[in-house]
A and B are shown apart, each in its own frame.
Chain A
């Protein structure tokens, strides 16, 4: 085995690859949840270690009953490009969610529940924030079976040590 590099130039330091990411999902809307899931899944696909932490309204993404009812925010979301008053009409959020779900299916992006199952299968950890769980009066039985644990902020920092933290 002999390697001869033709492009490596002496004196240029290569950046250290990222080896671990800890991704926090704090929002419970469709657009608040997907980016973190995609980043966690993508990290594993690149061979990095990844952990997902769900806090505040982000807990809806791992709540066994609410996971099927995640919606796009059509109010207070200028990037929807519809007037706020229209966005507030009954059914608008469901309609926008339905349209987006169809688009995602065409692009082979899995629904949130299936995506979380897959992410758990990649070996990424799935955790809930204890303060939020207590605040909403929930316990472990309220969550999807892929939840690894309910942990404190201290546990989180311990687990995230040596890696990158991404807050979404």
Chain B
């Protein structure tokens, strides 16, 4: 486990991350952390597309207890698989889950 700090306009928050970079406690996440979390994943500018995916991941997690896989994202988020990989070249579900402060989505597809 790693402890890191995220700076937002509201102040500095200490966040615990798993070894592979996911929030240990999703409840400490706030939307204003997104720009900094995205920058750490190599996303310099958070576009509307990024926001759409991150918010969708977050709401899926809050209702279902787990984030969607890439296929489910492509089918239900309103962003196609092709666009998902353009937005998150290093793996849409994985990277968006890190930015949305939720655990890594499970599933093989």
Residues of chain A at the chain B interface (Cβ within 8 Å):
1-7, 38, 41-42, 44-47, 108-110, 118, 121-123
Q: Is the CB–CB distance between A122 and B70 below 8 Å? A: yes
CA–CA, A118 and B93, complex, Å: 14
Residues from chain B with a CB closer than 8 A to the CB of A109 are 109
> Which residue of chain B lies nearest to A114 when distances are taken between CB atoms in the complex?
B71
Residues from chain A with a CB closer than 8 A to the CB of B19 are 7
Q: Is the CB–CB distance between B81 and A4 below 8 Å? A: no
**Which segment of B2-10, B45-53, B58-66 sits at the interface?**
B2-10
| Known interface pairs A42-B108, A47-B90; A1-B5 also in contact (CB < 8 Å) | yes
Q: Is the CB–CB distance between A45 and B70 below 8 Å? A: yes
CA–CA, A7 and B90, complex, Å: 25
Q: Is the CB–CB distance between A5 and B2 below 8 Å? A: yes
Q: Is the CB–CB distance between A47 and B3 below 8 Å? A: no
CA–CA, A4 and B17, complex, Å: 11
CA–CA, A46 and B85, complex, Å: 11
Residues from chain B with a CB closer than 8 A to the CB of A44 are 70, 85, 91
Q: Is the CB–CB distance between B109 and A122 below 8 Å? A: no
Say yes or no: is B28 at the interface (Cβ < 8 Å to chain A): no
> Which residue of chain A lies nearest to B19 when distances are taken between CB atoms in the complex?
A7
B94-109 contacts to A (CB < 8 Å):
94-95, 107-109
